[in-house]
Amino acid sequence: MQEDCIFCKIVAGEIPSRTVYEDDNVFAFLDVNPLAPGHTLVIPKEHYERVAELPAELSASVFSAVSSLTPRIESAVDADATTIGINNGPEAGQEVPHVHAHIIPRFEGDGGGP
């Protein structure tokens, strides 16, 4: 655990969050400032800053959780599609330096998009 990391504190239960999914290696929770209803963040429980730092098995676990959660989130909020994205480094817009995949439900005509 990285002491000053918000997402490590969320994994440890020191900061409350709305849990969407959890297993031994992966945690998923609702974004506190959602771009759409159901906007979910999927993170490795262990602290890594950038995608390339993740051990291959953990990377696979995160992506597998993203894959299986996506249709469940879509049906929960009746979305038509999903934007899945990772801001990898501060210059790309990564504000929290703990790897996280965004699952953002999309609706026909919502006019959004990265």
Residues of this chain that bind Zn ion (CB under 5 A): 2, 5, 7-8, 47, 98
Q: Which helix (H) or strand (E) holds 56?
A: helix 56-77
Closest CB to Zn ion among residues 19, 75? 19
Handedness of CA 32, 28, 112, 108 (dihedral sign): negative
81 binds ligand 5GP (CB under 6 A): no
To the query of whether residue 100 is one of the catalytic residues in this protein, the response is yes
96 binds ligand 5GP (CB under 6 A): yes
- Cβ atoms 100, 88 nearer than 8 A: no
Binding test (CB under 6 A) with ligand 5GP, winner from 87, 106, 107, 110: 87
DSSP for residue 36: S
DSSP for residue 108: T
Alpha helices in 1-114 (DSSP H): 6-11, 56-77
84 binds ligand 5GP (CB under 6 A): no
Active site residues: 100
Residues of this chain that bind ligand 5GP (CB under 6 A):
6, 15, 17, 29-33, 41, 87, 93-96
